[in-house]
Amino acid sequence: AIRPSSTAEKQDAATEPASARELAVTSAAASLDAFGCTFILAPAMSVRISAEDALLLSAFAVADLSILVESECQVRGGDWQAVVPKLGPDARRVHAEENAGGASVISEALSMEVLCRLLGARLVCTELELRYFPAAGPITDY
């Protein structure tokens, strides 16, 4: 389950210890507008999205609406094990926690990183931490 970060959480960061503030600063996304696109820059990757989609995405996220956008993600570092330490804490948690099976650990961790960087989303619980009803029914994919 994922939720956007609230303004209050961002204000609370000022009262956190220095190490927590440093972590928050390193997980904040830097962006650059050029060539009709918005580029989200992060230590582990960069994401290119059209400037119009970026504007719509930010408006829809605040209004708690859904939108489909096209983007391009470029991972930096080549080797996946070199990329993991550069991910934010939520993406590292998705990578480290047991998942429901399959070969989706890397894509789930990168998806969490993109959601954190673009929307300020925060991981509340992983797919195996949710309680499902009925217990034998289908489950979410992270």
pLDDT tens, position by position, 40-53: 888 888 889 999 98
Q: What is the mean pLDDT of residues 79-97?
A: 88
Question: Which one-letter DSSP state was computed for residue 79?
Answer: S
Q: What is the mean pLDDT of residues 24-34?
A: 62
Cβ burial 70-96 (10 Å sphere, 16+ → b, else e): ebebebeeeeeeebbebbbebbbebbe
> Does pLDDT of 16 surpass 60?
no
pLDDT band at 15 (very low <50, low <70, confident <90, very high): very low
Q: Which residues are CB-neighbours of 127 under 8 A, at least 6 positions away?
A: 99, 100, 139, 140, 141, 142
Question: Which one-letter DSSP state was computed for residue 6?
Answer: P
Q: What is the mean pLDDT of residues 6-21?
A: 40
> Does pLDDT of 1 surpass 50?
no
> Does pLDDT of 14 surpass 70?
no
pLDDT band at 29 (very low <50, low <70, confident <90, very high): low
* Mean pLDDT, the chain, whole residue set: 75
pLDDT value for 17: 38
| pLDDT, tens digit, 9 for 90 and up, residues 53-74 | 888 887 887 777 778 888 888 8
Instruction: Please tell me whether the peptide bond between 134 and the residue prior to it is cis, using omega within 30 degrees of 0.
Output: yes
Reading the block at residue 123, the tokens are 């991981």
pLDDT value for 142: 61
